[in-house]
Structures are given as structure tokens and as C-alpha cells.
Amino acid sequence: MNKRKVLNIIIFIIVLFNWSRMALGRNTLAFTSRGITSLKYYTVLSNLLEAFASLIWIFNKNEKIKYIAATSVVLTMLVVLCFLGPLFGYSVMFIGVNFWMHLIVPIMVLFEIIFISKAKYSFKDNLLACIPLLIYGLFYMANNLINGVGRWPYTNDWYGFFIWGYPIAFLLFFVLIIVVYLIAFTIRKIKDRQ
């Protein structure tokens, strides 16, 4: 069995194990929820996308879905490092399942895509990498517009994007779409130099 296949099996197991811990366990950590409500977090969805992409890669070596999933989990890590960490504190961002989903899985996947994968990506692939966030962001924004932001702990704005009002929230969403594109673009350019 080759090393990349082993790595993808490990990624798949880590994600499913930690999501199971979150969904079935007692959640006292920030940005965790029990059961199906755990799927409201982009971190969980992007990690599950990565697990799904890893499983697909094991059987048919689909590089495009790996690229899209990698971009999604790297976005999760960057949002935690640059926005959520300073806003809510790094201690809650890197503990328990959050440690694995916010840091370890993104680093493993980034290492795989840049240093192990031999695939080449295109401008079209960069655009495809934006689709998961675009879909998630539209649902997140629509939920807050239709149902209101609410108050903690029953808020619809669990990421705090609406703290500064609706215009800033929409601006942050637009900025995140650009960030996803730039992550994908950067990965592609690094790979082009290899």
C-alpha cells in the first residue's frame, strides 16, 4: 500500500472519529454541537468533505475533489487563526475535536496536496474550489436574514459575522470567497513550480 493511500485512510479515520466525538459526546467546547446540529459549522462540513474526498481518492484517485476539499479545510484553519482565534480566544479554538479539525487535518491535507500529489490544477479548478463556501455562505446569510441573528446561545450567527451589522457581514462573506480563491490559486502556483 502506498504512502498517500495510508495518509488518506488516516485522514478519513481522524475526521470521522472526531466528528463522532462531537456529535455523540457532551459538548462543552465552543463551536461544537451534538447530533445533526454539528453540521451547522463550516469546519465540520469542510472536514467531512475532506473525509469524503479522501475515501474517493483511495478508490479512484480523484484529484479535483481532493483539491476542493483541501482548499475548504485550509480556509477553516486560516479563519480560526486570523478571525475566530483573536475574537474568541485561541484556547477554545485548539482544544479537543477543534484541535484536530481546525489544525491537524488542514496541515495534513495541505502537506499532501503540495508535497505528495502530482496533480496539476487549472483556473477552472480554482473557481470550483469556491463552491463549497459559496453554498454554505448563502445558507448562513439567508438563515440570518430570514430568522434574525438572535441572542447567544440561540444565535443564528455562531461565527459572529453579524456583530458589526449586515453590511459588514456581507463584506466578510465576499472577502472569504476571495480568500478561498487565493488559497486555491496559491496551492496551484506552488504546485506549478514543482
Report the domain count for the chain: 1
pLDDT in tens, 12-47: 999 999 999 888 876 656 666 777 888 888 999 999
Which range of residues forms the domain containing residue 8? 3-192
Residue 168 has pLDDT above 70, yes or no: yes
Per-residue pLDDT, 87 = 79
pLDDT in tens, 87-145: 778 888 888 888 999 999 999 999 999 999 999 999 999 999 999 999 999 999 999 99
Q: 1 or 148, which is more confident?
A: 148
How many Å apart are CA 30 and CA 172, to the nearest integer?
21
Torsion from C-alpha of 29, 159, 35, 153, nearest 10 degrees? 70
- pTM score > 0.95 for this model? no
CA 174 and chain centroid, separation: 16
How many Å apart are CA 49 and CA 41, to the nearest integer?
12
pLDDT in tens, 41-63: 899 999 999 999 999 999 999 99
Q: Which three cell numbers stand for residue 108?
A: 495534513
Place of cell 483573536: 86
19-26 contacts, C-beta under 8 A, 24 or more apart: 19/44, 19/47, 19/48, 19/51, 19/97, 19/101, 21/96, 21/97, 22/97
Q: Which three cell numbers stand for residue 48?
A: 467531512
The answer to whether residues 8 and 16 touch, using CB atoms and an 8 Å cutoff, is no
| 167 prior amide bond cis, ω within 30 | no
Per-residue pLDDT, 29 = 62
How many Å apart are CA 39 and CA 101, to the nearest integer?
13
Residue 189 has pLDDT above 90, yes or no: yes
